[in-house]
Amino acid sequence: MAKKQRLDIVTPEKVVYSEEVDFVVAPGVMGELGFLPEHTPLVSALKTGVLRVQKDGKELKVAITGGFVEVKNSRVVVLADTAEREDEIDVERAEAAKKRAEERLAKGGQDIDIARAEAALQRATARLKAAGKM
C-alpha cells in the first residue's frame, strides 16, 4: 500500500477537511508548494488561491484565503483564514463578487479602496477556480 500523509485544513470556525491523502499542492506566497508523505519539515505562509488534494486517484480543490501551512512527520496542517471545498462554493455569489470587484477596479477614483477591491477579486477568482468555473 502506498504511503499516505494526514491533511488537516482548519479555519477559525471549523475543521474543513481531515483525512489521509496522497499529495497536497498549496498556494504559497512565493509559488506553489507540493507535499508528498515524509516531506521535509516546513512552515510557510499561504496566499489566496486553490489548494489541491490528491487522494486515491481523485482530486479535491479547496479555495483558501491566506494563512499558513506546517509540514512535519507526514502531516500537513493548513491554518487558513477561510477555506471552502469545491462542493460548498456558491458559484453565483462568487461570480457576482468577481463582477463587483472588477467594476470597482475599473471605476477607480479616490473613494475606491484599491487593495480591498483587489483582495475581493482574488478571493472570488480562487472560489471560481476551485469550483471549476475558470
**Residue burial 101-115, b: 16+ Cβ < 10 Å; e: rest:** beebeeeeeeeeeee
Among the ranges given (36-45, 53-62, 66-75, 106-115), the one the predictor scored with the smallest mean pLDDT: 106-115
Q: What is the mean pLDDT of residues 110-126?
A: 88
pLDDT of residue 16: 96
Considering the chain, what is the average pLDDT of its residues? 94
Q: What is the mean pLDDT of residues 77-100?
A: 95
Task: State the Cα–Cα distance between residues 86 and 75, nearest whole angstrom.
Answer: 22
List, in order of start, the domains of the chain with CATH numbers. Answer: 5-87 (2.60.15.10), 89-130 (1.20.5.440)
Single pTM value for the model? 0.90
